[in-house]
Chains A and B, each alone.
Chain A
Protein backbone atom coordinates (compact mmCIF):
# COMPACT_ATOMS: atom_id res chain seq x y z
CA UNK A 1 0.00 0.00 0.00
CA UNK A 2 1.68 3.26 -1.11
CA UNK A 3 2.04 5.83 1.63
CA UNK A 4 -0.90 8.32 1.62
CA UNK A 5 1.39 11.38 1.86
CA UNK A 6 3.22 10.24 -1.28
CA UNK A 7 -0.12 9.66 -3.03
CA UNK A 8 -1.25 13.20 -2.12
CA UNK A 9 2.04 14.71 -3.26
CA UNK A 10 2.07 12.80 -6.55
CA UNK A 11 -1.58 13.58 -7.23
CA UNK A 12 -1.03 17.32 -6.75
CA UNK A 13 2.12 17.41 -8.88
CA UNK A 14 0.61 15.27 -11.69
CA UNK A 15 -2.63 17.26 -11.81
CA UNK A 16 -0.79 20.55 -11.71
CA UNK A 17 1.70 19.36 -14.36
CA UNK A 18 -1.08 18.48 -16.80
CA UNK A 19 -3.24 21.55 -16.21
CA UNK A 20 -0.29 23.95 -16.26
CA UNK A 21 0.84 22.81 -19.71
CA UNK A 22 -0.78 25.07 -22.37
CA UNK A 23 -0.03 22.48 -25.04
CA UNK A 24 -1.87 19.72 -23.16
CA UNK A 25 -4.84 21.96 -22.32
CA UNK A 26 -5.06 23.22 -25.93
CA UNK A 27 -4.93 19.65 -27.27
CA UNK A 28 -7.53 18.52 -24.72
CA UNK A 29 -9.95 21.25 -25.82
CA UNK A 30 -9.19 21.20 -29.55
CA UNK A 31 -9.72 17.44 -29.86
CA UNK A 32 -13.46 17.33 -28.93
CA UNK A 33 -14.05 20.58 -30.82
CA UNK A 34 -12.57 19.03 -33.97
CA UNK A 35 -14.64 15.85 -33.50
CA UNK A 36 -17.86 17.88 -33.14
CA UNK A 37 -16.95 20.03 -36.16
CA UNK A 38 -16.35 16.85 -38.19
CA UNK A 39 -19.66 15.43 -37.03
CA UNK A 40 -21.60 18.48 -38.16
CA UNK A 41 -19.69 18.83 -41.40
CA UNK A 42 -19.64 15.14 -42.35
CA UNK A 43 -21.58 12.66 -40.25
CA UNK A 44 -21.72 11.20 -36.77
CA UNK A 45 -20.10 8.01 -38.04
CA UNK A 46 -17.09 9.93 -39.41
CA UNK A 47 -16.83 11.89 -36.17
CA UNK A 48 -16.84 8.62 -34.18
CA UNK A 49 -14.10 7.15 -36.42
CA UNK A 50 -12.00 10.28 -35.91
CA UNK A 51 -12.63 10.19 -32.15
CA UNK A 52 -11.41 6.62 -31.74
CA UNK A 53 -8.45 7.02 -34.09
CA UNK A 54 -7.14 10.27 -32.60
CA UNK A 55 -7.95 9.59 -28.92
CA UNK A 56 -4.62 7.79 -28.19
CA UNK A 57 -2.77 10.96 -29.18
CA UNK A 58 -4.33 12.73 -26.19
CA UNK A 59 -2.36 10.29 -24.02
CA UNK A 60 0.78 10.85 -26.08
CA UNK A 61 0.58 14.63 -25.74
CA UNK A 62 -0.20 14.35 -22.03
CA UNK A 63 2.63 11.94 -21.30
CA UNK A 64 5.50 14.39 -21.09
CA UNK A 65 6.70 12.37 -18.16
CA UNK A 66 10.28 13.70 -18.39
CA UNK A 67 12.01 11.70 -15.66
CA UNK A 68 15.40 12.93 -16.80
CA UNK A 69 14.37 16.60 -16.69
CA UNK A 70 12.89 16.15 -13.24
CA UNK A 71 16.03 14.45 -11.93
CA UNK A 72 18.24 17.15 -13.44
CA UNK A 73 16.07 19.96 -12.04
CA UNK A 74 17.06 18.86 -8.53
CA UNK A 75 13.42 18.86 -7.37
CA UNK A 76 13.67 15.18 -6.42
CA UNK A 77 16.60 15.92 -4.11
CA UNK A 78 14.29 17.19 -1.44
CA UNK A 79 13.20 16.24 2.04
CA UNK A 80 9.93 15.08 0.45
CA UNK A 81 11.71 12.31 -1.43
CA UNK A 82 14.39 11.00 0.94
CA UNK A 83 14.73 7.32 1.71
CA UNK A 84 14.10 6.34 -1.92
CA UNK A 85 10.61 7.89 -1.95
CA UNK A 86 11.43 9.56 -5.27
CA UNK A 87 11.17 6.13 -6.90
CA UNK A 88 7.63 5.62 -5.61
CA UNK A 89 6.78 9.15 -6.72
CA UNK A 90 8.00 8.58 -10.28
CA UNK A 91 6.16 5.27 -10.51
CA UNK A 92 2.91 6.79 -9.29
CA UNK A 93 3.28 9.95 -11.36
CA UNK A 94 2.91 8.22 -14.72
CA UNK A 95 0.04 6.17 -13.29
CA UNK A 96 -1.82 9.30 -12.13
CA UNK A 97 -1.10 11.13 -15.39
CA UNK A 98 -2.52 8.22 -17.40
CA UNK A 99 -5.48 7.97 -15.02
CA UNK A 100 -6.34 11.65 -15.40
CA UNK A 101 -6.26 11.46 -19.20
CA UNK A 102 -8.24 8.21 -19.15
CA UNK A 103 -10.90 9.88 -16.98
CA UNK A 104 -11.11 12.78 -19.46
CA UNK A 105 -11.27 10.30 -22.36
CA UNK A 106 -14.11 8.44 -20.61
CA UNK A 107 -16.00 11.72 -20.18
CA UNK A 108 -15.58 12.51 -23.89
CA UNK A 109 -16.65 8.97 -24.81
CA UNK A 110 -19.79 9.40 -22.66
CA UNK A 111 -20.62 12.61 -24.53
CA UNK A 112 -19.97 10.93 -27.89
CA UNK A 113 -22.20 8.01 -26.89
CA UNK A 114 -24.97 10.39 -25.78
CA UNK A 115 -24.68 12.24 -29.10
CA UNK A 116 -24.80 8.89 -30.90
CA UNK A 117 -27.87 7.76 -28.94
CA UNK A 118 -29.64 11.01 -29.87
CA UNK A 119 -28.56 10.80 -33.52
CA UNK A 120 -29.28 7.08 -33.76
CA UNK A 121 -25.69 6.20 -34.67
CA UNK A 122 -24.51 4.52 -31.46
CA UNK A 123 -23.12 1.00 -31.96
CA UNK A 124 -22.23 -1.61 -29.27
CA UNK A 125 -18.84 -2.06 -31.00
CA UNK A 126 -17.93 1.46 -29.85
CA UNK A 127 -17.23 0.13 -26.36
CA UNK A 128 -14.60 -2.29 -27.72
CA UNK A 129 -13.13 0.44 -29.91
CA UNK A 130 -12.92 2.75 -26.91
CA UNK A 131 -11.12 -0.02 -25.00
CA UNK A 132 -8.63 -0.42 -27.86
CA UNK A 133 -8.10 3.36 -28.01
CA UNK A 134 -7.35 3.31 -24.27
CA UNK A 135 -4.89 0.46 -24.83
CA UNK A 136 -3.13 2.43 -27.59
CA UNK A 137 -3.11 5.51 -25.32
CA UNK A 138 -1.60 3.61 -22.40
CA UNK A 139 0.97 2.17 -24.80
CA UNK A 140 2.04 5.73 -25.62
CA UNK A 141 2.28 6.60 -21.92
CA UNK A 142 4.45 3.55 -21.23
CA UNK A 143 6.76 4.03 -24.22
CA UNK A 144 7.11 7.80 -23.65
CA UNK A 145 7.81 7.02 -19.98
CA UNK A 146 10.72 4.75 -20.94
CA UNK A 147 12.05 7.35 -23.41
CA UNK A 148 11.84 10.06 -20.73
CA UNK A 149 14.60 8.30 -18.79
CA UNK A 150 16.93 9.08 -21.66
CA UNK A 151 15.51 12.20 -23.35
CA UNK A 152 14.89 15.57 -21.72
CA UNK A 153 11.54 17.38 -21.56
CA UNK A 154 9.00 16.38 -24.17
CA UNK A 155 11.71 15.06 -26.51
CA UNK A 156 10.40 11.49 -26.06
CA UNK A 157 6.94 12.55 -27.25
CA UNK A 158 8.50 14.47 -30.14
CA UNK A 159 10.60 11.42 -31.09
CA UNK A 160 7.43 9.29 -31.29
CA UNK A 161 5.63 11.93 -33.39
CA UNK A 162 8.60 12.19 -35.76
CA UNK A 163 8.75 8.40 -36.08
CA UNK A 164 5.03 8.41 -36.96
CA UNK A 165 5.50 11.15 -39.54
CA UNK A 166 8.40 9.21 -41.06
CA UNK A 167 6.34 5.99 -41.16
CA UNK A 168 3.43 7.73 -42.90
CA UNK A 169 5.79 9.35 -45.46
CA UNK A 170 7.40 5.96 -46.19
CA UNK A 171 3.93 4.44 -46.53
CA UNK A 172 2.87 7.13 -49.01
CA UNK A 173 6.10 6.92 -51.01
CA UNK A 174 5.88 3.13 -51.31
CA UNK A 175 2.24 3.10 -52.33
CA UNK A 176 1.74 1.41 -55.70
CA UNK A 177 -1.21 0.35 -57.81
CA UNK A 178 -0.85 -3.15 -56.41
CA UNK A 179 -2.43 -4.20 -53.14
CA UNK A 180 -0.34 -3.00 -50.21
CA UNK A 181 -0.14 -3.10 -46.42
CA UNK A 182 -3.23 -0.98 -45.82
CA UNK A 183 -5.29 -3.10 -48.21
CA UNK A 184 -4.18 -6.25 -46.40
CA UNK A 185 -4.98 -4.62 -43.07
CA UNK A 186 -8.41 -3.51 -44.30
CA UNK A 187 -9.08 -7.09 -45.42
CA UNK A 188 -7.67 -8.44 -42.14
CA UNK A 189 -5.42 -10.91 -44.00
CA UNK A 190 -1.75 -10.75 -44.94
CA UNK A 191 -0.50 -12.89 -47.85
CA UNK A 192 3.02 -13.38 -46.41
CA UNK A 193 4.82 -13.17 -43.08
CA UNK A 194 7.02 -10.33 -44.40
CA UNK A 195 4.00 -8.10 -45.00
CA UNK A 196 2.61 -8.95 -41.56
CA UNK A 197 5.96 -8.09 -39.93
CA UNK A 198 6.16 -4.79 -41.81
CA UNK A 199 2.65 -3.96 -40.68
CA UNK A 200 3.58 -4.98 -37.12
CA UNK A 201 6.42 -2.46 -37.22
CA UNK A 202 4.01 0.22 -38.45
CA UNK A 203 1.58 -0.63 -35.63
CA UNK A 204 4.38 -0.34 -33.07
CA UNK A 205 5.00 3.23 -34.25
CA UNK A 206 1.34 4.14 -34.81
CA UNK A 207 -0.75 1.96 -32.46
CA UNK A 208 -3.88 4.01 -33.27
CA UNK A 209 -4.34 1.61 -36.21
CA UNK A 210 -5.61 -1.13 -33.89
CA UNK A 211 -8.71 0.83 -32.78
CA UNK A 212 -10.55 -0.39 -35.89
CA UNK A 213 -10.86 -3.70 -34.05
CA UNK A 214 -10.30 -5.87 -37.12
CA UNK A 215 -6.72 -6.72 -36.19
CA UNK A 216 -6.72 -8.63 -32.90
CA UNK A 217 -3.20 -10.04 -33.45
CA UNK A 218 -1.79 -6.52 -33.70
CA UNK A 219 -3.79 -5.39 -30.67
CA UNK A 220 -2.09 -8.29 -28.85
CA UNK A 221 1.26 -6.97 -30.11
CA UNK A 222 0.48 -3.53 -28.63
CA UNK A 223 -0.57 -5.14 -25.35
CA UNK A 224 2.67 -7.17 -25.24
CA UNK A 225 4.88 -4.13 -25.94
CA UNK A 226 2.89 -2.14 -23.37
CA UNK A 227 3.53 -4.79 -20.71
CA UNK A 228 7.24 -4.92 -21.64
CA UNK A 229 7.49 -1.11 -21.50
CA UNK A 230 5.80 -1.05 -18.07
CA UNK A 231 8.21 -3.71 -16.78
CA UNK A 232 11.21 -1.89 -18.25
CA UNK A 233 10.01 1.40 -16.79
CA UNK A 234 9.67 -0.21 -13.36
CA UNK A 235 13.21 -1.56 -13.63
CA UNK A 236 14.59 1.80 -14.71
CA UNK A 237 12.84 3.57 -11.83
CA UNK A 238 14.09 1.01 -9.30
CA UNK A 239 17.66 1.50 -10.57
CA UNK A 240 17.40 5.29 -10.62
CA UNK A 241 19.75 7.42 -8.51
CA UNK A 242 19.71 11.18 -7.98
CA UNK A 243 23.18 12.22 -9.07
CA UNK A 244 22.55 15.90 -9.89
Chain B
Protein backbone atom coordinates (compact mmCIF):
# COMPACT_ATOMS: atom_id res chain seq x y z
CA UNK B 1 0.00 0.00 0.00
CA UNK B 2 2.86 2.40 0.87
CA UNK B 3 6.49 1.91 0.03
CA UNK B 4 9.12 4.44 1.02
CA UNK B 5 12.60 4.02 -0.38
CA UNK B 6 15.69 5.75 1.01
CA UNK B 7 13.97 9.03 1.85
CA UNK B 8 16.20 11.99 2.64
CA UNK B 9 15.20 15.51 3.59
CA UNK B 10 17.19 18.46 4.82
CA UNK B 11 15.92 21.73 6.37
CA UNK B 12 18.85 24.08 5.90
CA UNK B 13 21.65 22.59 8.00
CA UNK B 14 19.39 20.11 9.77
CA UNK B 15 19.27 16.65 8.23
CA UNK B 16 15.70 15.63 9.12
CA UNK B 17 15.76 12.35 7.17
CA UNK B 18 18.82 10.46 6.01
CA UNK B 19 17.65 7.00 5.09
CA UNK B 20 14.04 6.10 5.72
CA UNK B 21 12.65 3.02 4.02
CA UNK B 22 9.63 0.90 4.86
CA UNK B 23 6.81 -1.01 3.28
CA UNK B 24 3.27 -1.18 4.62
CA UNK B 25 0.80 -3.82 3.56
CA UNK B 26 -2.84 -3.20 2.75
CA UNK B 27 -5.34 -3.90 5.53
CA UNK B 28 -2.93 -3.31 8.42
CA UNK B 29 -2.34 -0.77 11.15
CA UNK B 30 1.28 0.36 11.27
CA UNK B 31 2.72 2.46 14.08
CA UNK B 32 5.56 4.81 13.30
CA UNK B 33 7.55 5.37 16.44
CA UNK B 34 10.50 7.51 17.32
CA UNK B 35 11.76 10.19 19.67
CA UNK B 36 10.98 13.85 19.13
CA UNK B 37 12.83 14.99 16.00
CA UNK B 38 13.30 11.43 14.72
CA UNK B 39 11.64 12.39 11.41
CA UNK B 40 8.17 10.86 11.79
CA UNK B 41 6.16 13.94 10.82
CA UNK B 42 8.55 14.77 7.99
CA UNK B 43 8.15 11.23 6.65
CA UNK B 44 4.35 11.46 6.81
CA UNK B 45 4.35 14.89 5.15
CA UNK B 46 6.49 13.57 2.31
CA UNK B 47 4.13 10.62 1.86
CA UNK B 48 1.17 13.04 1.73
CA UNK B 49 2.80 15.46 -0.73
CA UNK B 50 3.19 18.41 1.65
CA UNK B 51 6.98 18.14 1.38
CA UNK B 52 9.27 17.02 -1.43
CA UNK B 53 12.07 14.59 -0.56
CA UNK B 54 15.62 15.63 -1.43
CA UNK B 55 16.26 12.01 -2.35
CA UNK B 56 14.32 8.76 -2.40
CA UNK B 57 10.69 8.14 -3.21
CA UNK B 58 7.33 7.14 -1.79
CA UNK B 59 4.79 5.09 -3.71
CA UNK B 60 1.19 4.83 -2.55
CA UNK B 61 -1.31 2.46 -4.14
CA UNK B 62 -4.18 4.25 -5.90
CA UNK B 63 -7.13 5.07 -3.67
CA UNK B 64 -8.50 7.70 -1.32
CA UNK B 65 -5.99 9.02 1.15
CA UNK B 66 -7.04 10.58 4.46
CA UNK B 67 -4.98 12.54 6.93
CA UNK B 68 -5.43 13.65 10.52
CA UNK B 69 -2.71 16.15 11.46
CA UNK B 70 -1.26 16.53 14.93
CA UNK B 71 -2.78 19.98 15.41
CA UNK B 72 -5.61 20.38 12.88
CA UNK B 73 -6.36 23.81 11.43
CA UNK B 74 -9.11 24.63 8.95
CA UNK B 75 -9.87 27.18 6.21
CA UNK B 76 -11.04 30.42 7.83
CA UNK B 77 -14.65 31.49 7.63
CA UNK B 78 -16.17 28.15 6.58
CA UNK B 79 -18.46 26.28 8.96
CA UNK B 80 -18.18 22.58 9.75
CA UNK B 81 -20.94 21.48 7.36
CA UNK B 82 -19.35 23.37 4.45
CA UNK B 83 -15.93 21.82 5.08
CA UNK B 84 -17.44 18.34 5.31
CA UNK B 85 -19.29 18.95 2.04
CA UNK B 86 -16.03 19.98 0.39
CA UNK B 87 -14.37 16.80 1.73
CA UNK B 88 -17.14 14.68 0.24
CA UNK B 89 -16.78 16.50 -3.08
CA UNK B 90 -13.01 15.88 -3.10
CA UNK B 91 -13.37 12.27 -4.16
CA UNK B 92 -16.99 11.91 -5.14
CA UNK B 93 -17.40 10.34 -8.53
CA UNK B 94 -20.96 11.73 -8.75
CA UNK B 95 -24.31 10.34 -7.74
CA UNK B 96 -22.96 8.94 -4.48
CA UNK B 97 -25.93 9.62 -2.27
CA UNK B 98 -28.02 12.73 -1.80
CA UNK B 99 -27.86 15.54 0.76
CA UNK B 100 -30.07 13.69 3.22
CA UNK B 101 -27.97 10.52 3.16
CA UNK B 102 -24.84 12.66 3.49
CA UNK B 103 -26.28 14.37 6.57
CA UNK B 104 -27.24 10.97 8.01
CA UNK B 105 -23.71 9.68 7.39
CA UNK B 106 -22.23 12.77 9.09
CA UNK B 107 -24.52 12.38 12.09
CA UNK B 108 -23.63 8.67 12.34
CA UNK B 109 -19.91 9.43 12.16
CA UNK B 110 -20.32 12.24 14.71
CA UNK B 111 -21.94 9.79 17.12
CA UNK B 112 -19.10 7.31 16.65
CA UNK B 113 -16.65 10.06 17.64
CA UNK B 114 -18.78 11.49 20.50
CA UNK B 115 -18.75 14.76 18.53
CA UNK B 116 -21.66 17.18 19.02
CA UNK B 117 -23.17 17.73 15.51
CA UNK B 118 -24.52 21.09 16.70
CA UNK B 119 -20.93 22.37 16.48
CA UNK B 120 -20.99 21.88 12.70
CA UNK B 121 -22.88 25.15 12.31
CA UNK B 122 -19.78 26.96 13.63
CA UNK B 123 -16.36 27.44 12.06
CA UNK B 124 -13.99 24.68 13.29
CA UNK B 125 -11.40 27.36 14.04
CA UNK B 126 -13.51 28.16 17.12
CA UNK B 127 -13.59 24.56 18.41
CA UNK B 128 -11.65 23.35 21.43
CA UNK B 129 -8.48 21.33 20.66
CA UNK B 130 -10.30 18.06 21.36
CA UNK B 131 -13.28 18.91 19.18
CA UNK B 132 -10.97 20.13 16.39
CA UNK B 133 -9.27 16.73 16.50
CA UNK B 134 -12.61 14.93 16.41
CA UNK B 135 -13.68 17.12 13.50
CA UNK B 136 -10.46 16.21 11.64
CA UNK B 137 -11.42 12.54 12.07
CA UNK B 138 -14.95 13.33 10.95
CA UNK B 139 -13.59 14.87 7.73
CA UNK B 140 -11.77 11.62 7.05
CA UNK B 141 -14.74 9.40 7.83
CA UNK B 142 -16.78 11.40 5.31
CA UNK B 143 -14.02 10.81 2.79
CA UNK B 144 -13.99 7.02 3.47
CA UNK B 145 -10.24 6.65 2.88
CA UNK B 146 -8.44 3.53 1.67
CA UNK B 147 -5.37 4.77 3.51
CA UNK B 148 -5.61 6.85 6.68
CA UNK B 149 -2.50 8.62 7.95
CA UNK B 150 -2.73 10.04 11.47
CA UNK B 151 -0.11 12.11 13.27
CA UNK B 152 -0.50 11.88 17.05
CA UNK B 153 -4.16 10.84 16.72
CA UNK B 154 -4.84 10.75 20.46
CA UNK B 155 -3.45 14.18 21.29
CA UNK B 156 -6.07 16.41 22.98
CA UNK B 157 -8.67 13.61 23.14
CA UNK B 158 -10.39 12.51 26.36
CA UNK B 159 -10.42 8.78 27.30
CA UNK B 160 -13.86 8.01 25.78
CA UNK B 161 -12.79 9.67 22.51
CA UNK B 162 -9.51 7.71 22.56
CA UNK B 163 -11.56 4.51 22.67
CA UNK B 164 -13.73 5.76 19.78
CA UNK B 165 -10.66 6.54 17.67
CA UNK B 166 -9.17 3.14 18.48
CA UNK B 167 -12.41 1.52 17.32
CA UNK B 168 -12.29 3.58 14.12
CA UNK B 169 -8.75 2.42 13.37
CA UNK B 170 -9.64 -1.22 14.03
CA UNK B 171 -12.85 -0.86 12.00
CA UNK B 172 -10.91 0.49 9.03
CA UNK B 173 -8.41 -2.37 9.22
CA UNK B 174 -11.21 -4.91 9.47
CA UNK B 175 -12.71 -3.35 6.33
CA UNK B 176 -9.42 -3.93 4.48
CA UNK B 177 -8.21 -0.33 4.73
CA UNK B 178 -4.70 0.67 5.72
CA UNK B 179 -3.80 2.87 8.69
CA UNK B 180 -0.45 4.54 9.35
CA UNK B 181 -0.11 6.20 12.76
CA UNK B 182 2.68 8.28 14.20
CA UNK B 183 2.39 8.29 17.97
CA UNK B 184 4.24 8.39 21.26
CA UNK B 185 1.49 6.42 23.02
CA UNK B 186 3.33 3.11 23.00
CA UNK B 187 0.83 1.09 25.06
CA UNK B 188 -1.95 2.15 22.69
CA UNK B 189 0.15 1.29 19.65
CA UNK B 190 1.05 -2.10 21.05
CA UNK B 191 -2.64 -2.74 21.54
CA UNK B 192 -3.75 -2.07 17.97
CA UNK B 193 -0.79 -2.09 15.58
CA UNK B 194 0.13 -4.98 13.29
CA UNK B 195 3.53 -3.59 12.42
CA UNK B 196 6.05 -1.02 13.59
CA UNK B 197 8.46 1.33 11.92
CA UNK B 198 10.93 2.87 14.35
CA UNK B 199 12.87 5.94 13.28
CA UNK B 200 15.91 7.39 14.97
CA UNK B 201 17.73 10.52 13.87
CA UNK B 202 16.20 10.34 10.42
CA UNK B 203 16.89 6.65 9.81
CA UNK B 204 14.73 3.55 9.96
CA UNK B 205 16.18 1.41 12.75
CA UNK B 206 13.40 -1.18 12.96
CA UNK B 207 10.77 -2.22 10.48
CA UNK B 208 8.87 -5.18 11.80
CA UNK B 209 5.55 -6.95 11.57
CA UNK B 210 3.75 -8.09 14.71
CA UNK B 211 5.34 -11.54 14.74
CA UNK B 212 8.83 -10.16 14.18
CA UNK B 213 8.15 -7.55 16.80
CA UNK B 214 7.23 -10.23 19.36
CA UNK B 215 10.44 -12.08 18.53
CA UNK B 216 12.37 -8.84 18.90
CA UNK B 217 10.63 -8.21 22.19
CA UNK B 218 11.52 -11.68 23.44
CA UNK B 219 15.13 -11.44 22.34
CA UNK B 220 15.52 -8.08 24.00
CA UNK B 221 13.77 -9.47 27.10
CA UNK B 222 11.51 -6.46 27.15
CA UNK B 223 8.12 -6.97 28.78
CA UNK B 224 6.38 -4.43 26.57
CA UNK B 225 6.77 -2.10 23.61
CA UNK B 226 7.89 0.73 25.83
CA UNK B 227 10.89 -1.15 27.23
CA UNK B 228 11.90 -2.40 23.76
CA UNK B 229 11.55 1.11 22.37
CA UNK B 230 13.67 2.54 25.17
CA UNK B 231 16.32 -0.11 24.52
CA UNK B 232 16.31 0.64 20.80
CA UNK B 233 16.38 4.38 21.18
CA UNK B 234 18.86 4.39 24.04
CA UNK B 235 22.13 6.26 23.80
Contact = CB atoms under 8 A, between A and B. Distances in A.
A207 B187 CA distance: 63
A74 B69 contact: yes
Contacts of B76: 13, 16-17, 20, 73, 75
A171 B62 CA distance: 61
Given A4-B89, A5-B89, A8-B89, A79 B73 contact: no
B43 interface: no
B73 A78 contact: yes
Nearest to B42: A243
B61 to A, nearest CB: 13
Nearest to B91: A5
Q: Is the interface of B mostly helix, strand, loop or mixed?
A: mixed
**Max chain B CB contacts within 10 Å: which of A5, A79, A242?**
A79
Interface range, B side:
20 to 34
A228 to B, nearest CB: 25
B86 A80 contact: yes
B45 to A, nearest CB: 7
Given A9-B86, A12-B82, A75 B75 contact: yes
Given A83-B48, A243-B51, A78 B89 contact: no
A17 B77 contact: yes
Contacts of A99: none
B26 to A, nearest CB: 19
A78 B49 contact: no
Contact of B48 (A16, A74, A75, A82): A82
A12 to B, nearest CB: 6
A12 B78 contact: yes
A109 interface: no
Contacts of B68: 79
Interface in B83-115: 83, 86-87, 89-92
A86 interface: yes
Nearest to A84: B49
Contacts of B67: 78-79, 82
A8 B78 CA distance: 12
Contacts of A17: 76-77
Interface string A1-40: 0001100110011001100100000000000000000000
A67 B164 CA distance: 36
B222 interface: no
Contacts of B77: 13, 16-17, 20
A87 to B, nearest CB: 9
A219 to B, nearest CB: 36
A86 B92 CA distance: 19
A242 B89 contact: no
A45 interface: no
B71 A74 contact: yes
29 contacts: A5-B92, A8-B86, A9-B86, A13-B75, A20-B76, A74-B69, A74-B71, A75-B75, A75-B76, A76-B50, A77-B45, A78-B73, A78-B75, A79-B67, A79-B136, A79-B140, A80-B83, A82-B50, A82-B67, A83-B48, A83-B65, A84-B49, A86-B50, A241-B52, A242-B45, A242-B50, A242-B51, A243-B11, A243-B51
Interface of A: 4-5, 8-9, 12-13, 16-17, 20, 73-86, 241-243
Top 3 nearest A-B pairs (CB, nearest first) are A74-B73, A16-B77, A242-B50
Given A5-B89, A16-B76, 19 more contacts: A4-B89, A5-B86, A5-B90, A8-B89, A9-B86, A9-B89, A13-B76, A74-B72, A75-B75, A77-B73, A79-B87, A79-B139, A79-B140, A80-B139, A82-B48, A241-B51, A242-B45, A243-B11, A243-B51
